[in-house]
Structures are given as structure tokens and as C-alpha cells.
Amino acid sequence: MATFFKAADVAKAAVEIEKKGEAFYRHMAEQTKDEDLRNLFIHLAGEEHKHELIFSNLLNRLGSVELPAWSTTEEYGEYIDALISSHTLFDSHSEALMAGAGDAESGVRVALSFEKDTLLFFVELKELVPDSEKDAVQRCVDEERLHIRQLRAML
């Protein structure tokens, strides 16, 4: 039997991802001694906050919009749940990862993992939202790709 869920449920998860990302980057900015890396973490915290606002507004616009019929299969719902539950900052080991991210290289590697997980989630989210919302999600996808390049350069 198909499991039906609302597009807003997926947008709520995106808001939570961005909130956790902002908190992570603010924590890392406080921890690092490297000024360039601190500045990047502060910048990325601001980007996560900006994305949180985008997805909060999207959430308000989506309201009770159902996900497309092809996305409501139980299998697809399980896939979306797996993307969320295995996300670096939702994973049950995330606190240990954050605690272990005290040195600059470890912090950047955790951040890269976070950004890659977020990118994958947003690519899927783009497929689930109405056409009128796809551009906003695509802008976030493009920015996540930029974040990955910026973090990789710090290694």
C-alpha cells in the first residue's frame, strides 16, 4: 500500500538540516584557530541561515501540497527517510563527529560530509516540489556545490 505524505514534510526536514548546519558552522568557527577557516565557517553559517529562510518560506507556500504520485510509494518514502536519518548531522553518531571535529582538517572533513549529504537531499527535494518552486531549490543546490568546492580548497 502506498504511503502518502506532504511536500511540506520534506521541506521541514530541509529547514532542520539548515538549522543544524548553521549551529555546526558556528561551533566550528569558535573552535578553530585558523583565521581563514574561521572566516569560511562564519560565511557558511550565514549561508545555512539563508537557506533555512528559503526553505521556511517554501514550507509556508507548500502547505498541504501532496507529493507527486510517483513519489508516494512506500519504497520512495523509505528512501527519503534514509536520506534524512543517515545525514551527517542527523546520524546518531553526529555528536561524536562534532566533538571529534576539533582540529581544522577533521572539521573540514565533517563539513564536506554534511554538504554532500545536503546536496543529495536537495537534489531529491527539487524533484518533489511543484515546478514553481524548483528554481529556489536549484539555487540552494548550486550554493551547496560551491560550499563543497570552498571546503575542499581548505584541505
How many C-beta atoms lie closer than 10 Å to residue 140's C-beta? 22
- Cβ(100)–Cβ(106) under 8 Å? yes
Residue 13, pLDDT above cutoff 60? yes
User: Domains of the chain (ranges plus CATH)?
Assistant: 7-154 (1.20.1260.10)
**What is this structure's pTM?**
0.81
pLDDT averaged over the chain?
A: 82
DSSP class of 103: S
Look at residue 57 and give its three-state secondary structure: helix
Q: 74-85 and 7-31 helices cross at what angle (nearest 10)? A: 10
C-alpha to C-alpha distance for 65 and 5, rounded to whole angstroms = 9
Per-residue cell: 46: 550565514
- Per residue in 37-80, pLDDT (tens digit) is 999 999 999 999 999 999 999 888 876 656 665 666 667 677 77
